Amino acid sequence: MKKIIILFIILLLVSLVNAQIAIKSFRSIPEKVLPGERLRLSIILENVGSNKTEDILVKLDLDKLPFAPLVSSSEQVIDEIKKDNEKEVFFDLVALPNADAQIYKVPVEISYSQIKKTSLISLEVNSKVNLDLILDSSELIKINDKGKVILKFVNNGLSQIKFLKVILQESPSYEIISANSIYIGEIDVNDFETEEFTIIPKTKNPQLFFDLEYKDFNNNEFKEKKAVNLNVYTTQEAKELGLVSQGYNWVFIILIIIVLVLFFIYRRKKQNVN
């Protein structure tokens, strides 16, 4: 009886050694998927053993991942793979709308001939970045005024922004008094940062030109050019709009003071004469 058991174990071990199914390669179409976007996952399995292998079950473990099966299930069955041959299986998936931008490790369970093993593949979720540049406030009213311009950098995308650097370009329309380059760093999703530049406008309604350099969560580099419009008036326009005090008001006040002083002097002299 013991000999039979030992023989059975030996035969089983030989069978397990001879049957070896491994993942040869995999690919995702598209290679990087956006949240809410569909993808087709291709996995190529190879029989590296010495015997034909039958009834191979391939299963994706998506329980803790932001992916869901679509047309097909998360399991596929291969009837057989002959020695040194390959078979390809497909999985139609969708990245959930709340998927964060990152690379996900996906466990792939392969079962056959009383063998069950797990291999890891990767799927990448890549979110669109959207960095807005908004004029928050300005101290500038008229040409040749010196003042601060406060800008708001808003992350309206679905991916964190990293290593943000802002450069205010030189222009004949304005003179830069402060540093023209600022490093901001990170801006989280649905968040913003404010920074300021000090300038002197040389023309009416100048545009400020900026170069923005940053990376997304997956270290993809982005370079953008953006412009911000300033409302700057001539001195005459600012006076007409009541944005600055009229110069003649001071003259008028001084004249009134002089008239009042002369009037009191006259009154006093007249009282002394009487």
pLDDT digit string (tens) for 156-189? Answer: 988 889 999 999 999 999 999 999 999 999 999 8
Q: Mean pLDDT throughout 109-138?
A: 91
pLDDT-derived band at 272 (thresholds 50, 70, 90) equals: low
Q: 198 pLDDT exceeds 70? A: yes
Residue pair 101/215 in contact by the 8 Å Cβ criterion:
no
Kindly tell me if the per-residue pLDDT of 3 is higher than 60. Answer: no
Domain ranges in the chain? 21-125, 131-240
pLDDT band (50, 70, 90) for residue 6: very low
Question: What HEC string does the chain produce?
Answer: CHHHHHHHHHHHHHHHHHCCEEEEEEEEECCEECCCCEEEEEEEEEECCCCCEEEEEEEECCCCCCEEECCCCCEEEEEEECCCCEEEEEEEEEECCCCCCEEEEEEEEEEECCEEEEEEEEEEECCCCCEEEEEEEECCCECCCCEEEEEEEEECCCCCEEEEEEEECCECCEEECCCCEEEEEEECCCCEEEEEEEEEECCCCCEEEEEEEEECCCCCEEEEEEEEECCCECHHHHHHCCCCCCHHHHHHHHHHHHHHHHHHHHHHHHHHHC
User: Is the pLDDT confidence value at 115 over 70?
Assistant: yes
Q: What is the pLDDT of residue 120?
A: 95
Residue 8 has pLDDT above 70, yes or no: no
Percent with pLDDT over 90 in the chain: 59
**131-240 is classed CATH 3.40.50.300:** no
CATH superfamily of 21-125: Immunoglobulins (2.60.40.10)
pLDDT of residue 248: 52
Per-residue pLDDT reduced to its tens digit, 61-90: 999 999 999 987 899 999 999 988 999 999
Tell me if 21-125 shares its fold with 131-240. yes
Question: What does the pLDDT look like over 12-24, one tens digit per residue?
Answer: 444 444 458 899 9
More confident residue, 71 or 195: 195
Per-residue pLDDT at 255: 75
pLDDT tens sequence across 203-258 = 999 999 999 999 988 788 999 999 999 998 888 887 877 776 655 556 667 778 88
Looking at residue 11, its pLDDT comes to 42
pLDDT tens track for 124-163: 998 888 999 999 999 988 899 999 999 999 999 888 899 9
- Report the pLDDT averaged over residues 18-36: 88
pLDDT value, residue 38: 95
Q: What is the pLDDT of residue 168?
A: 96
Where is pLDDT greater, at 243 or 100?
Answer: 100
